[in-house]
Amino acid sequence: MDCKLRAKNCGGCPMLATEYAAQLKKKEADVRALLVKYGPVSPIRGMETPYHYRNKVISTFAPAACGKLTSGIYAARTHKVLPVESCLLQDEVLDKVMLAVRAAANACRYQPFNEDKGTGLLRHCLLRRGVATGQVMVVLVTAQPVLTGAKNFVKALLAEAEKRGVPVTTVVQNYNPRRTSVVLGEDEKVLYGKGFILDTLCGKTYALSPRSFYQVNPVQTAVLYGLAVDAAHLTGKEVVLDAYCGIGTIGLTASDKARQVVGVEVNRDAVRDAIGNAKHNGVKNARFFAADATAWIREAADAGQKADVIFMDPPREGSTPAFLESVARMAPKRIVYVSCNPETMARDLALLTQKGYRAEGFTPVDMFPHSAHCEVVGSLVRVK
C-alpha cells in the first residue's frame, strides 16, 4: 500500500515502501544485534493487518482557502501543516471524526491559531477511541480561554459525526496559551459527556482522560502486556512493583496473578487515573503512589522493603543508574523490562548484569508498523 502524503514529505511512515515482512526482519535483526550478548532473542511479534492501528490522533489546525480552516500533520523537519483526509496508520473512525470536527469548526467560523502573529483560536485536535467500547473523545485545544459558541460547536459536531456514521462520546476544551510544541495545556473544560472514555485491555476496563498515557496500538499492546505478565511467572504469592506505571495498565493486568501490586508514577494525573481504574475493576490488591520512580525505589530499598517481581517500563531515555542500583538492593527474584528503546535497554542491561541478574530472553514486538520503532519485553532472573 502507498500513500499520496509520502510524496509530500509526510514522514509518518518512513518504512511504508518496504514490504512488511522485510520491516519485521530488519527490526528483529536490529534488536538481536543490541541484545543477543545478554540473552536469546525470540522472533518478533508482528501484526496480521499492520494498518489503521492508531487509537489516538493529534491534528494541527491551519488556514485553508476562502477563510476556512483545515487540519493535518507537520511535514517532516518543517513547521508546515499537510492537510490529512485519511491516514493508513490512523483508526478509520477517527479519520471521519476529524473531518466532522473540521466541518463543525468551519460552520462556527473558528480560525486557526497563528503562532507568528499570536492570533486565532484553534491550535490542535486530539482524538481518542476506545477500540473495544467504540467510545470517542474529542479534545479541542485552544489558544484562548473562552471557546465562543461552544454549545453551537458541540451541536454542529454531533450532527456532522452522525452524518458520517461515527460516534462522539465526549468533547473537552483544553486551553494552551504557551508558545510550545507541547500539545495540551493544564486547563480543561468538559463541553459534552463525562470528559473521559472507557476502553478494555487484557480483561480490564480503563478510563481515559485527555492526558492519560495509553498505548496507541491496542492489538499489539495486548501482545506486549501478555508477554510481560507471562515473563513474570507469577503464582499468586508475589509482591509486584510496577515502576513507571502510568495509568496502571501493566500492574492491573498482573493483579489477578499477584498477592500485591504497588505502582509508582511521577505524573499525578496518571496516578489518579490508576487509582480510579483499580476501583473501577474491583482490584483490591493494588496501590499506586505519585513519586519519581528513582527517588521512591531508593527510599524503599533504604527502608528494607522487598518486591518479588519488578516490572519496569521506562521512557525512551531508559532508566537511571540510581534506579537500577536501588532495584539491585531490593533484590527481586525477577525483573521484567518493557522497553520502547532497545538502545537504552542495552545500556541498562549492562548495569543489571553487573548487579547479579541474568537475562533469560527477549521478545521484540512491532508496536508501530511502518516506522523504525520497536518495543521489547525482556526477562531477567537474579543469580547471585
- Rounded to whole angstroms, the Cα distance separating 316 from 324 reads 16
- Rounded to whole angstroms, the Cα distance separating 369 from 248 reads 25
Residue 101: pLDDT band (50, 70, 90) is very high
Phi, psi of 275 (to 5 degrees): -60, -45
Residue 5: pLDDT band (50, 70, 90) is confident
> What's the pLDDT tens digit per position in 253-308?
999 999 999 999 999 989 999 999 999 999 999 999 999 988 999 999 889 889 99
- Rounded to whole angstroms, the Cα distance separating 304 from 288 reads 19
- Rounded to whole angstroms, the Cα distance separating 247 from 208 reads 9
On average, the pLDDT of the chain sits at: 95
- Rounded to whole angstroms, the Cα distance separating 104 from 125 reads 12
For residue 352, how far is the Cα from the chain centroid?
Answer: 26
- Rounded to whole angstroms, the Cα distance separating 295 from 291 reads 7
> What's the pLDDT tens digit per position in 184-228?
999 999 999 999 999 999 999 999 999 888 999 999 999 999 999
Contact present, 324 and 297 (Cβ < 8 Å): no
Residue 77: pLDDT band (50, 70, 90) is confident
29 CB neighbour count, 10 Å cutoff: 13
The pLDDT value given to residue 125: 98
Tell me: pLDDT of 79 over 90.
Answer: no
CA dihedral 335, 338, 340, 346 (to 10 degrees): 30
> What's the pLDDT tens digit per position in 369-383?
999 999 999 999 999
Q: All domains of the chain, ordered by start, with CATH?
A: 6-49+217-382 (3.40.50.150), 56-201 (2.40.50.1070)
Which residues is 42 bridged to in the sheet?
A: none
Binding residues for S-adenosyl-L-methionine: 215, 244, 265, 313
- In the numeric block, the cell 484553534 is attached to 122
> What's the pLDDT tens digit per position in 37-70?
999 999 999 999 999 999 999 999 999 999 999 9
The pLDDT value given to residue 95: 97
CA dihedral 346, 349, 354, 357 (to 10 degrees): -150
Residue 172: pLDDT band (50, 70, 90) is very high
- In the numeric block, the cell 503512589 is attached to 289
- In the numeric block, the cell 511479534 is attached to 45
**Cell numbers describing residue 300:** 524503599
Catalytic choice (13, 125, 202, 340): 340
Tell me: pLDDT of 343 over 80.
Answer: yes
Binding residues: 215, 244, 265, 313
> What's the pLDDT tens digit per position in 102-148?
999 999 999 999 988 888 999 999 999 999 999 999 999 999 999 99
- Which residue has better confidence, 233 or 78? 233
The pLDDT value given to residue 8: 84
Tell me: pLDDT of 2 over 80.
Answer: no
Residue 334: pLDDT band (50, 70, 90) is very high
- pTM of the prediction? 0.93
The pLDDT value given to residue 22: 98
- Rounded to whole angstroms, the Cα distance separating 125 from 171 reads 11
Tell me: pLDDT of 19 over 90.
Answer: yes
- Rounded to whole angstroms, the Cα distance separating 93 from 77 reads 28
Tell me: pLDDT of 11 over 90.
Answer: no
Contact present, 12 and 87 (Cβ < 8 Å): yes
- Rounded to whole angstroms, the Cα distance separating 201 from 183 reads 26
Active-site residue flag, 340:
yes
Q: Max CA-CA distance within the chain?
A: 71
- Rounded to whole angstroms, the Cα distance separating 257 from 329 reads 25
The pLDDT value given to residue 317: 93
The pLDDT value given to residue 181: 83
**Cell numbers describing residue 302:** 533504604
For residue 104, how far is the Cα from the chain centroid?
Answer: 28
Burial of 317 (0-12, 13-18, 19+ CB in 10 A): exposed
Contact present, 350 and 34 (Cβ < 8 Å): no
